[in-house]
Structure 1
């Protein structure tokens, strides 16, 4: 049976690449641009044909493909000690998911109605789990029975979990077994929590232990199969939501302070899904690979789009080290991703191709030929070079990719072009979601297929919203700038959130009286109507000489360099220059260390790499690489990094330096390397050049 393509809106026969968004006449005001709307579809409202206004409608549309069709896939565990997964995917059908959403939803509604759980402003339900089929079943159940889902990142620390549970008055949490002990230990601090449901399979003895421990601290613990059995025995008909019914409080991971609870309506998520179905092309057996956190809005919208048309979703095992193995077994068509992962694929492919001899020459010829074709015609396939050179790289992700998307953070145009020609499929910063935020239900802009000059942009506004730029005088960005207007990006549309939960101050600062959400990102709009992200309002700082620098922008420029696995750029308002902490790519580091130190060092040789990062010559070499990049990207003197510290310890969620969506937590990263950064500044201001470590 084919997909349900009723909600998909096809591209026109002739795509107006020169008018991808258009200004609305009469909307230009002093200090801001006109309002720009999508150049093909304009601005969607609640009266368009085939609209999606509630999330239960999204599921019902997908269900229409047939109850026996595959929906949610996973790799079964065949051994727990050692942990081993089957070399295949097993699937739950649409019919099975339909039944289970009703069992879960009926049990939930009964418990709230009887007062066993609840008591807050909303009937909130928490999920604390890595991506798995049960996560999606629970979410669909809540959408069907008017419950408000509360996202708990699988990698959140106990402090944030404690804060969110109390803040949202979450009385029931569905959790995998690895988090149960944390929740039970927190019992005195989260007095509102009454019920924990274990969603993965656990031994009988473990279930008994958890139940007894929970009873001793006043929290009931039961397993999901028990919970579903109760719902099956007490079935309740689905409860129809309205478009304005609250469906989720999605907590942003945040780089500083407590996470903010973004309140989203059914209409916000449903219309964001509807918007992303404009121009979407899917095969009948399309599979999306799910590994980005489902607690994050980016992945949720990707999966909602797949659900709306009756596609399939395959979940990774939960182990990032098995991600490529999962992809090779699943053979996905769609791979929503983030720059951090795609940059690593780019670096590995470039390192593998840039080798001496005939192999390296063939790789360079293939690369140059396809890049020229892409940039002149927009085409990214080649009958010879795809077969001889790039097929091996494509097989790393299963060999059947048709769509790769990137969001969450900027990615360089160089990496985007490389991925387009390597995978020979659509690679977009914006298709599905691309540039978007939790507050906009992940929908802001998306690039158009076949646009050979789109790299470096995030495309025009999506049909669900309109965009404008507002002057940022402190940073020198104005709507009158030439050749393109520049300013803070603001969006308005049906996808915009209603409020930050219990946070009127930030709500008022984020949404103005006309309904515009101020993103904090600085953009420009080019003559074709495409948006380019160029800076960040909230991450600028003033150096001692009074000059402003944008730290995230500088980090993003360096992130595609093959020498760098991770980078944190650091500034101090009492100092006149910038430092950086660099985690070098181990393959790159091994190569330059072997040459500089005069002995063979491999990428797995931790002792050798540790010796290398302490050598001033290695440090100077990597700093020179950064300086060369800085000049290439046109950074001015104060934006150039003057000294660096090299480390083999990655920034991670576990050490507190990354958010669960892999963004640098600036304060925590600085604290992690406080002694090293202070020591570099203690050397005094560099007297000349950029190689400050020698001075």
Structure 2
């Protein structure tokens, strides 16, 4: 018989789509809306019966599904030259991980007790690695032995690593061998660091080299297998957590200054997980494909939910080009994702379907029929068209997808509607921050008009809007109130570590987090993010422009791989740097110049980017998108620079979560952007 998970709370037989959130009577105040709570479940907290309140409880619930069930999986390397991975996943069971968390946790506890580690405010432990079974195993060990996890993004530069090690007083860091040399070079700048543990297997020569190097800079080097053996010899039982115990300091990837350390307690993370179990529909033995950074709170919550249902987590190879191959082997049921990946899926599907002849006609007819059904009934399946047309798109992710989530940035309603009908399953956009454990709101399944919103507040939250008069947003706006979104609940943090100034700016006296996002709450109680309080600028004629909103709007256009929109307060129009999609650019270049260019020939594509015909044509595509999206004249891009030099973490123009560092992006292209402004605003409508 299928397992009945005690933590999952099922949907009622009929969902009140017209009352997805309800105002709390008596909470309306001047300059702000009432407080809104979930229209079905109200507000849950640590006292709600049968709720998860600590992270070690989550692993215990997963273990109840059976210690012999598959848990954490990976594709083994079968050849290094050429690099080749096994065509199947190798699995650790829940029982395997139970033993390993005890060994790792016991070892760490012993070393802290003996004074070989520690000395700071918390018994904090760093993890600097890509997603892999060891990352999750170490984190579970820390949860089970009252240690504080500090995750470092796998793509962090040495300056941020140095800052976090010092700021969080890390005396031990678990890292992969590729990161250990960076740590050893930093050792003289972070005297609190005492030990480094290599989590991946090493040759005896490599281990000896790193051990000797560590010794010369005053650090103790261990391989993970050594640490586990030490823990096995000094085994103690897990130490139960309690709700107010600090579980993690999660550093946000700042777009300007040093990252901020969000202090998260067990109750914050556990009840965020519990909140996501309300209405969660995943099969027995559900599997998740893990490729979003585990250092990011969104992926961690998704994996905690998978553990809480006794599911499996398959880790991708680490190579984005192999992601679809990983998916087709794992056949995941749950695919947490982000717009930059989902936009690519959409573009590829549309390019493959919009072809001449009967195939193209069938594709477009299938879209028309299914969209009409979605928009009238909320139904996302269709017996005929799913079999004839959409089965191939579903097969791209393995053919067994039941839940796709989109978070971290806005995604266009058109793309969301297409993904719903193409995958024929629940595709939900949600909203959250590190500060509320990536849990604030989420769209409901089978809601015909959910796309473009991020749904109602989660059961763990209540939300309200406060006026932003400088931008013209008020709680009295018609037809719906608008203002800065504030959120409160047991999942919400209360302090940035050692940072009173930012804490006071973000959390008010009543515990409300001021998100910095401008939202609207519609008549159904759904939240729609419409603007950003901080990332706005004023053009010369006094008009406010939300640059991120415009970038997100253009990002679903097939020609756009990346786009940076720039405004100058002394100018009356916007300009942009666009990194084109190589395949799309090659096609445009061929049709305009008559010369065939290969998408792989980057130098040739770079030359094409300088062709005024190509620039003009791509700008006309963006103008049409602006027309269709209802952008105002001053929100349109009037001049454009094309470049094959992408924004990246390596050149410091992207954060580890792929948000543009605006100042650094501008500095990278200052000469080109200034030159666009020097041309003046085009007199005719482009």
**TM-score normalised by structure 2 residue count:** 0.99
Question: In structure 2, do the counterparts of structure 1 residues 370 and 455 end up closer, same or farther at CA, with 3 Å as the change threshold?
Answer: same
- Matched-pair contact (CA < 8 Å) for 1:524–1:531: yes
Q: 2:60 is matched with which residue? A: 60
SS at match of 2:73: strand
Structure 2: distance between partners of 1:501 and 1:520: 20
SS at match of 1:405: strand
Which of 475, 485, 498 is the equivalent residue of 1:502?
498
1:313-332 alignment, distance < 5 Å: 313-332=313-332
Q: 1:693 is matched with which residue? A: none
> Is it true that 1:449 corresponds to 2:445 in the alignment?
yes
- Matched-pair contact (CA < 8 Å) for 2:252–2:261: yes
Q: 1:372 is matched with which residue? A: 372
- Structure 1 segments, 4+ long, off by >6 Å, are none
Q: Which moved more, 1:58-67 or 1:674-683?
A: 674-683
Cα drift, residue 576 of structure 1: 1.9
SS at match of 1:481: coil
- Matched-pair contact (CA < 8 Å) for 1:4–1:61: no
Cα drift, residue 352 of structure 1: 1.3
- Matched-pair contact (CA < 8 Å) for 2:380–2:446: no
SS at match of 2:549: helix
Q: 1:361 is matched with which residue? A: 361
Q: 1:302 is matched with which residue? A: 302
1:379-458 alignment, distance < 5 Å: 379-429=379-429, 434-458=430-454
1:81-96 alignment, distance < 5 Å: 81-96=81-96
SS at match of 1:112: helix
Q: Tell me the alpha carbon deviations over residues 301-328 of structure 1, each in whole angstroms, 9 at most, x when there is no partner.
A: 0000111121111100111111111111
Q: 2:287 is matched with which residue? A: 287
Cα drift, residue 480 of structure 1: 0.3
Q: Tell me the alpha carbon deviations over residues 458-493 of structure 1, each in whole angstroms, 9 at most, x when there is no partner.
A: 000000010000111111100000000000000000
SS at match of 2:178: helix
Q: Tell me the alpha carbon deviations over residues 68-104 of structure 1, each in whole angstroms, 9 at most, x when there is no partner.
A: 1111011111122332211110110001100100100
Cα drift, residue 628 of structure 1: 1.5
- Matched-pair contact (CA < 8 Å) for 2:285–2:310: no
Which of 550, 559, 565 is the equivalent residue of 1:563?
559
Q: 1:340 is matched with which residue? A: 340
Cα drift, residue 607 of structure 1: 4.0
Structure 1: distance between partners of 2:608 and 2:393: 30
Cα drift, residue 591 of structure 1: 1.7
SS at match of 2:17: coil
SS at match of 2:441: coil
Which of 633, 649, 656 is the equivalent residue of 1:653?
649
Q: Tell me the alpha carbon deviations over residues 258-289 of structure 1, each in whole angstroms, 9 at most, x when there is no partner.
A: 11000000000000001000011111121011
Structure 2: distance between partners of 1:3 and 1:253: 39
Which of 531, 538, 543 is the equivalent residue of 1:535?
531
SS at match of 1:549: strand
Q: Tell me the alpha carbon deviations over residues 379-413 of structure 1, each in whole angstroms, 9 at most, x when there is no partner.
A: 11122221221111111111111111110001000
Q: 2:180 is matched with which residue? A: 180
Structure 2: distance between partners of 1:4 and 1:647: 53
SS at match of 1:384: helix
- Matched-pair contact (CA < 8 Å) for 1:4–1:65: no
Q: 1:550 is matched with which residue? A: 546
> Is it true that 1:605 corresponds to 2:621 in the alignment?
no
Q: 1:627 is matched with which residue? A: 623
Q: Tell me the alpha carbon deviations over residues 495-550 of structure 1, each in whole angstroms, 9 at most, x when there is no partner.
A: 00121111000000100001100000110000000000111111001122222111
Q: Which moved more, 1:655-664 or 1:28-37?
A: 655-664
Q: Tell me the alpha carbon deviations over residues 591-614 of structure 1, each in whole angstroms, 9 at most, x when there is no partner.
A: 221111022233233344223211
Structure 2: distance between partners of 1:677 and 1:3: 59
Q: Which moved more, 1:619-628 or 1:19-28?
A: 619-628
Structure 2: distance between partners of 1:319 and 1:607: 24
Structure 2: distance between partners of 1:673 and 1:3: 56
Cα drift, residue 4 of structure 1: 5.3
- Matched-pair contact (CA < 8 Å) for 1:101–1:137: yes
Cα drift, residue 351 of structure 1: 1.2
Q: 2:674 is matched with which residue? A: 678
1:481-520 alignment, distance < 5 Å: 481-520=477-516
Note the residue ranges of structure 1 that are not aligned, 5 or more in a row. 691-695
Q: Tell me the alpha carbon deviations over residues 406-431 of structure 1, each in whole angstroms, 9 at most, x when there is no partner.
A: 100010000000101111111111xx
Structure 2: distance between partners of 1:4 and 1:508: 44
Structure 2: distance between partners of 1:539 and 1:338: 20
Cα drift, residue 659 of structure 1: 1.4
The count of residues paired between Structure 1 and Structure 2 equals 686
Q: Aligned Cα RMSD in Å?
A: 1.1
Structure 1: distance between partners of 2:602 and 2:26: 63
- Matched-pair contact (CA < 8 Å) for 1:4–1:310: no
- Matched-pair contact (CA < 8 Å) for 2:494–2:511: no
Cα drift, residue 187 of structure 1: 1.1
Structure 2: distance between partners of 1:623 and 1:79: 46
Cα drift, residue 51 of structure 1: 0.8
SS at match of 2:565: strand
Structure 2: distance between partners of 1:682 and 1:380: 50
Q: 1:152 is matched with which residue? A: 152
Q: 1:43 is matched with which residue? A: 43
SS at match of 1:456: coil
Structure 2: distance between partners of 1:495 and 1:585: 39
